[in-house]
Amino acid sequence: MDLKQAFYSPAEVASLARLHPTTILSYIRDGKLYAVRLSARTIRIPAKAVQKLLAPDEAIRPKLIERPNDDVRDDSSLSTPADELVLA
């Protein structure tokens, strides 16, 4: 699916998905569709979120990056004081 804009209004997404605009707003409220609220009355939906809604099989999946050289320790080696621990 080729989307031409970077962001869409809920009404535009509703038209593309053949749903009622209230349904799109419900998806946003329920966390099923990511959106950005620009003001009290203005909501925009990124093209990636629209693509994920319309064609979930074509959406680009996030990649898991393995870091084999990271230092991995077991719990017994955590005998350092809490102020010396660095959170990554």
Indicate whether 16 pLDDT > 90. Answer: yes
pLDDT in tens, 23-38: 999 999 999 999 999 9
pTM for this prediction: 0.65
- pLDDT (0 to 100) of residue 15: 96
User: Cα(28)–Cα(58) distance, rounded to whole angstroms?
Assistant: 21
Is 46 in a helix, a strand, or coil? strand
Of the candidates 33, 39, 41, the one whose C-alpha atom is nearest the C-alpha of residue 13 is 33
Q: Which residues are CB-neighbours of 55 under 8 A, at least 6 positions away?
A: 1
Identify whether the C-beta of residue 52 lies closer than 8 Å to the C-beta of residue 17: no
Instruction: Compute the average pLDDT of residues 43-58.
Output: 91
